[in-house]
Structure 1
Amino acid sequence: MEELPHLPPEVWVYVFSYLSTDERHTVRTVCRQLKRLVDHPSLWRDYTVVLSDLRRYTYGFWDTLNHRKLTRVAVRHLRRKEWRRLDGAKGQYTPKGHKGLTLLLFLGSVGAPRYGGPALTSLELVDYPETILPENALRSLTSLRSLTIRYRYIREGIECRLTSWLSPLHQLETLTIIGQLKAFPLPL
């Protein structure tokens, strides 16, 4: 590609702010310079990344999220095993040398990768039955300020783990629960 016109990076970032997410992803494939500008954190402020099937995410994906400084996550259809993988943060998700992934992972001072969600401020759980996540599933998310739980449906007789999920979340400011009742009426 020809060299970009000599405009300050701030102007390019301003121009890219008018592009849709798909257009930004297309632009970032053109050259390294544009990739760096399109990944500027100001373009991704208040953006939510949707995670599912954790095996498919590469080091490059986590590096990109780190560079964009994303702090909002929506998790879709995570099975218990995948949640444990996310909660345990195996080394495969943390590139060596990173002091921290802003979104989900960080390296402790000893250098061992672990999960703690130090900057994760917002989490959305989509279509989760209560039984899929253990009682201590959110214990590491100490910086969480907003939690949204979207149930596909709520059934009678299923143990509610919400109290145990919320107990370690001392900074939680907003809790939103969205769902439909199925098989039983709401008590008045």
Structure 2
Amino acid sequence: MAFRTVGAAQLPSEVWVHVFGYLSTTDKLNIRSCCKYFKKMVDHWSLWKGNTVVLKKLCAYTSQFWTTLRRRKISSVVVQKASLKEWKQLALSLPWLTTIAVENCFDVKAFEILKQFHNLKRLAIRRCRCGQGLSDAIVPLQQVTHFSVCEMHCAPRSDIVSAVSKLSHLTSLLYHEGNHPIPRQIFHLMLNRLPHLKHLSLKMGTQHGSLPDDYFNIYKTNGFPDDPQVGQPGLTSLELLDYMDPTLPEEALKCLPSLQSLAVDYRDRDVDPSRCHLKTWLRELPQLAVLNIAKGHPVSAYAHSIPNTVTSLTLQRVMVEQKDMKALGKQASGLLYLHFDPCSYNSSSSIGEIPKLFPQLMTLKMRHYNVSEKEFLSLQQLKHLEQLEILDAHSPSPHLLQLIHKLQVLTNHRTQIIHSLGPRDPTTCYCTHY
């Protein structure tokens, strides 16, 4: 070990830091245990940018643990069930945190500690159980720009909506709370106080009948024209989770022409194309660039309505046929990103057609199951393909590894081929599938 350490020290530390930057978190932790020299190098702050630490039992962590996190300049944490004393310890140890996800918090007083994190920009509250008082605790957090709330048991909806409304600088809101959509009037009052909001994610829940046509049109219901806190949000990104037609009417998105990204995660598959409102929504979105669809109607119900401005398309657990793929190719031939994961498809009429239909693709996500060698190797025709992710090959067989090698040779190794999913961001909401 001493010999290896002396040899390692002959190289500049900047070189080692650069090399370690290519390692996974697990590999970096293994290297860190080799010797004190590598331990110091691996803890360099530049190697931990964007890293999130999950804190499960704060009282068990030593002073050395907190020193290590400070050395790495950790700015994102998930806090699971911490006491008030532990929250104070966190604020004392890492006061510069910019992202905090709170889980299983049962005392609203814990949220009052958040005001000590003056750099906090992203806050997620999920699976918490607390009563009234959340709104007052949130008031000091005016610097927060990204807020997520999910499964807030026992907290009154009025208190949650009031808390959200106090964060007037929000640019992103994930409201995944309750079993029913927010009533129109309350929803409008909340949005009116979020003039900077760009991304909105809603869990629709069960709804008997349709919401009003102007559900997203707050211009008609601005009851406080003299209130300086009131604004008119120009949403560019909308996500609807647990959705089923006809919860929103066909004209629902007509007042959102600025949308550049739309994601709809349907509750179930629906084989009745006559109830598909998505085809009408898409015709009203001239700037749409990103479209993500999960479950719901067959692709045939809306394929011809997809704007030619779409460059990123995700299709998950949907019914798609060969004619639908051809329609998609005509409507969105300029696709750069395709996540293709239907519930069933004929590989010879879909994967093999992708290079012809979407010649500009730079990123492709797909399953290998039932795809022949000929179809798989035909992906070499995608001259701009930079990354191929195989969704069902976490433990690739020797045959698949051989196919991957063949494809890499045919593409002169210009395409990065991934066959294992990367770690999920622990700060993201569990409801979000994209």
Q: TM-score, normalised by structure 1?
A: 0.71
Q: Structure 1, residues 82-116: CA drift from partner, whole Å, max 9, x if none?
A: 2x112443xxxxxxxxxxxxx7425xxxxxxxxxx
Contact 1:142-1:170 within 8 A present in 2 as well: no
Is 1:133 matched with 2:136?
no
Residues 21-76 of structure 1 show CA distances to partners (whole Å, capped at 9, x for unaligned) of: 12111111111100000000000011111112122101110110111111111101
Q: Specify the alignment match of 2:376 in structure 1.
A: none
Aligned 8 A contact 1:71 1:122 in 2: yes
Matched, 1:148 2:124: yes
Comparing both chains, which one has the higher relative contact order based on Cα–Cα distances under 8 Å and sequence gaps of 6 or more? 1
Task: Classify 1:181/1:148 alpha carbon distance in 2 versus 1 (closer, same or farther; 3 Å).
Answer: closer
- Partner residue of 2:144 out of 162, 172, 181: 172
1:105 and 2:92 are equivalent in the alignment = yes
Match of 1:100 in 2: none
Indicate which of 180, 186, 204 corresponds to 1:185.
180
Any unmatched runs of 5+ in structure 2? Answer: 152-175, 184-434
Contact 1:143/1:169 (8 A) holds in 2: no
- Measured at CA, do residues 4 and 149 of structure 1 come closer, stay the same or move farther in structure 2, by a change above 3 Å? farther
Identity of aligned residues (%): 33
Relative distance call for 1:136 and 1:22 in structure 2 (3 A) is: same
Distance 1:162 1:175 in 2: 14
Q: CA deviation at 1:160?
A: 4.4
Over the aligned positions, Cα root-mean-square deviation in angstroms equals: 2.4
**Corresponding residue of 1:23:** 27
Counting matched residue pairs gives: 154
| Residue type at the aligned position of 1:86 | E
Q: Is 2:74 the counterpart of 1:70?
A: yes
Separation of aligned partners in 2, 1:13 and 1:86: 33
Q: What amino acid sits opposite 1:150 in the alignment?
A: R
| Kept in 2: contact 1:145–1:173 (CA 8 A) | yes
Q: Name 2:221's counterpart in structure 1.
A: none
Residue type at the aligned position of 2:127: Y
* Cα distance in 2 between the residues matched to 1:187 and 1:9: 55
Query: For residues 161 and 137 of structure 1, do their structure 2 counterparts lie closer, same or farther at Cα, with a shift above 3 Å needed?
Result: farther
Does 2:53 match 1:85? no
**TM-score, normalised with respect to structure 2:** 0.33
Give 1:112's aligned residue: none
Letter in 1 for 2:85: R
Partner residue in 1 for 2:7: 4
Structure 1: unaligned runs, 5 residues or longer: 90-102, 107-116
Max radius of gyration: which structure? 2
**CA distance in 2 between partners of 1:55 and 1:67 (Å):** 20
Aligned mates of 2:60, 2:26 — CA distance in 1: 20
Asked whether 1:43 is paired with 2:15, we answer no
